């Protein structure tokens, strides 16, 4: 199988597997135990935390481990609302955000929070002037993702953070698809990340918070993670996250240059008739979201069984609903259902990419002739 679904998840790096192995078998102690074995596990987690923080490259804050990026985003949003000063009860976000943000914001709106959803243009970018008009002293938090998980479009996070701070609001960045792949922007107060998007294990994420901007705890109990997130940490998962972060930090430029060469190769190999969804210039090049008139993407996925790719985000692909991101770009139902997402990365070879794109193009041609 040729794997082209790097936005859904990434293959675990061999170096990460090797780093995790002892903590899965022999070194099984509870890291919160005062025993020598527990202290050894706790020390390993401390190293992993420094590795993740080092890969982020941000000063004046720290990382708390979570069970996923979804948990981190829920914690950032709900915990910030809980901690908000009187009069700040408004959240601003984009219509193209991940469901972990949008669904949480809708839940908060049901609890009385004022929610403002800003639209994007056909290129997936939003007008900063809209944000400027929406910002005032009532805004508690602005939530915008760095790299969109479906179309790869990148938003100007540094400028958004500056604008939010100017009115005393917090800025939350969902950096799941950008961490370890592009340089982290300066300015956000809260940043959610995940291990399995950077060749690490599933089941662990993290929330970086600027000092003083820590949200109220979402999970109470044993007081782990400085009392911010209770629950026994997994040394294996933490060590795996740290190893993946360190490796991604060391390879970031090399990996980026690799996918930057693959993106035009994939588009060229697909051939004529394919239209890029979202901005061509303001995007992470490891994501190619394209559509072809008349294509049934769901059927294409069934026809091309030797290759892993997607017709939308991994979280929503089983719902049967058109992508809310593509809908936000102005695509109609027919255009959205004719779209596919190819994600490539560190271990994608040019030969594999060409072979997969040729097969996809051939299957699309066959489908087109059948319905001509």
Annotated active-site positions, please? 315
- Residue burial 181-201, b: 16+ Cβ < 10 Å; e: rest: bbebbebbbbbbbbbbbbbbb
C-alpha–C-alpha distance, residues 372 and 364, integer Å? 12
Residue 132 C-alpha from the chain's centroid: 25
Q: Which two tokens stand for residue 189?
A: 């107060």
The two structure tokens encoding residue 267: 């588009």
Half-sphere exposure of 151 (CA within 13 A, CB side): 32
Specify whether the CB–CB gap between 289 and 150 falls below 8 A.
yes
Give the residue from 227, 223, 243, 247 showing the smallest Cα distance to 235.
Answer: 243
Give the DSSP per-residue string, 199-217. Answer: T--SS-EEEEEETT-PPPP
Rounded to an integer, what distance in angstroms lies between the CA atom of residue 254 and that of residue 262?
Answer: 13
Tell me the two tokens of residue 121: 């243009």
Nearest to 292 by CA among 333, 261, 338: 338
d(CA 285, CA 342): 10
In the chain, where does DSSP find H-type helix? 14-24, 36-56, 69-83, 99-110, 128-134, 157-166, 235-270, 297-303, 324-328, 333-336, 350-370
**For residue 291, what is the enclosing H or E element?**
strand 287-292
Q: How many C-beta atoms lie closer than 10 Å to residue 299's C-beta?
A: 16
Other C-beta atoms lying within 10 Å of the C-beta of residue 312 = 27
Q: Report yes or no: 192 and 76 within 8 Å, Cβ to Cβ.
A: yes
């Amino acid at each position: 199988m040729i794997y082209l679904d790097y936005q859904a998840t990434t293959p675990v790096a061999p170096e990460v597997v090797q780093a995790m192995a002892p903590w899965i078998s022999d070194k099984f102690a509870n890291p919160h135990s005062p025993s020598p074995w527990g202290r050894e596990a706790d020390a390993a987690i401390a190293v992993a935390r420094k590795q993740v923080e080092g890969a982020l490259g941000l000063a004046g804050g720290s990382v708390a481990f979570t069970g996923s990026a979804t948990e981190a985003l829920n914690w950032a949003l709900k915990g910030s609302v809980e901690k908000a000063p009187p009069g700040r009860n408004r959240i601003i976000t984009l219509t193209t955000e991940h469901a972990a943000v949008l669904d949480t914001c809708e839940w908060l709106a049901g609890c009385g929070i004022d929610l403002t959803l800003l639209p994007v243009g056909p290129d997936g970018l939003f007008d900063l002037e809209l944000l400027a008009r929406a910002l005032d002293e009532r805004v508690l938090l602005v939530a915008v993702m760095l790299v969109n998980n479906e179309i790869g479009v990148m938003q100007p996070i540094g400028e958004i953070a500056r604008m939010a701070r100017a009115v005393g609001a917090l800025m939350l960045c969902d950096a799941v698809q950008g961490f370890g792949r592009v340089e982290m922007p300066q300015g956000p107060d809260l940043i959610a990340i995940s291990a399995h998007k950077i060749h690490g294990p599933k089941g662990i994420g993290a929330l970086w918070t600027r000092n003083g901007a820590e949200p109220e705890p979402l999970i109470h109990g044993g007081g782990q993670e400085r009392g911010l997130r209770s629950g026994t940490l997994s040394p294996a998962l933490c060590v795996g996250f740290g190893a993946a972060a360190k490796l991604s930090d060391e390879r970031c430029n090399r990996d980026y240059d690799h996918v930057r060469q693959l993106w035009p190769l994939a588009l060229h190999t697909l051939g004529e008739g394919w239209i890029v969804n979202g901005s061509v210039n303001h995007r992470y090049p490891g994501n190619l979201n394209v559509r072809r008139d008349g294509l049934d993407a769901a059927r294409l996925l069934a026809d091309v069984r030797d290759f892993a790719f997607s017709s939308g985000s991994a979280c929503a692909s089983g719902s049967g609903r058109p992508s809310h991101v593509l809908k936000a770009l102005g695509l109609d139902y027919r255009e959205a259902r004719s779209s596919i997402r190819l994600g490539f990365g560190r271990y994608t070879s040019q030969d594999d990419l060409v072979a997969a794109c040729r097969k996809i193009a051939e299957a699309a041609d066959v489908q087109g002739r059948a319905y001509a």
